[in-house]
Amino acid sequence: MGALPREFFNPRSVAVIGATRKPGFGSGIPRLLKRLGYTDHLYLVNPREHEIEGLPVYRRVTDIPDPVDLAIVIVPRDHARSVIEDCIAKNIHAVILETAGFSETGPEGARMEREIADLIKDEPVRIIGPNCVGLINPHGRFTSTEVALEDITPGNIGVIAQSGVFGSIVADWAPGQDLAVSSLVTIGNRLDVDEADVLYHFAQDATTDVIVLYLEGAKDGRRFRKALGEASRRKPVLLYKSGRTEVGRRAAASHTGSMSGVDGLYEGLLKQAGVIRASSFQELFDLARVFSRQPLMKGTDTGIVSTSGSLGVMAADAAVQWGLRFPDLSPGTLEMIERQAPAWMNVKNPLDVGPSGLFGPGLEGLLRDSRIQGVIAIPVVPDSTMRLIADRGMGPDVLTGDVEALRRLLPDKPVVTYTVGGAFWTSLARKTIGPHFTMVRSAETAAKALWALHRYYRFRRDNP
With a cut of 90, say whether residue 243 has pLDDT above it: no
The string of pLDDT tens digits covering residues 275-322 is: 999 999 999 999 999 999 999 999 999 999 999 999 999 999 999 999
Average pLDDT over residues 416-427: 94
Q: Long-range contacts for 426-435 (Cβ within 8 Å, ≥24 apart)?
A: 428/386, 428/390, 428/395, 428/396, 429/379, 429/381, 429/396, 430/178, 432/395, 432/396, 432/397, 432/400, 432/403, 433/377, 433/379, 433/396, 433/400, 433/403, 434/178, 435/178, 435/293, 435/404
d(Cα 303, Cα 20) in Å, to the nearest integer?
59
> Which residues, 6+ apart, have CB-to-CB distance to 59 below 8 Å?
45, 46, 47
Helices and strands per DSSP (H, E), number in the chain: 18, 19
pTM over 0.85: yes
Query: For residue 277, what are the β-bridge partners?
Result: 239
Nearest partner of 420 among 438, 435, 441, judged by Cα:
441
Give the range among 137-151, 164-178, 269-283, 307-321 with minimum mean pLDDT.
Answer: 164-178
The string of pLDDT tens digits covering residues 65-123 is: 999 999 999 999 999 999 999 999 999 999 999 999 999 999 999 999 999 999 999 99
d(Cα 461, Cα 464) in Å, to the nearest integer?
6
**127: Cα separation from own chain's centroid:** 22
- DSSP letter assigned to residue 149: G
- Phi, then psi, of 159 in degrees rounded to 5: -115, 130
- pLDDT tier at 187, thresholds 50, 70, 90: very high
Q: Where in the chain is the domain with CATH 3.40.50.261?
A: 132-293, 295-462
Q: Where in the chain is the domain with CATH 3.40.50.720?
A: 1-131
What's 1-131's CATH class? alpha beta
Q: 132-293 — its CATH code?
A: 3.40.50.261
**Other beta carbons less than 10 A from residue 246's beta carbon:** 9
Mean pLDDT of the chain: 93
The domain made up of 295-462 has a fold known as Rossmann fold (3.40.50)
Nearest partner of 182 among 165, 162, 198, judged by Cα:
198
With a cut of 50, say whether residue 373 has pLDDT above it: yes
**Other beta carbons less than 10 A from residue 280's beta carbon:** 11
Average pLDDT over residues 202-219: 95
Q: How many residues does the chain have?
A: 464
With a cut of 80, say whether residue 452 has pLDDT above it: yes
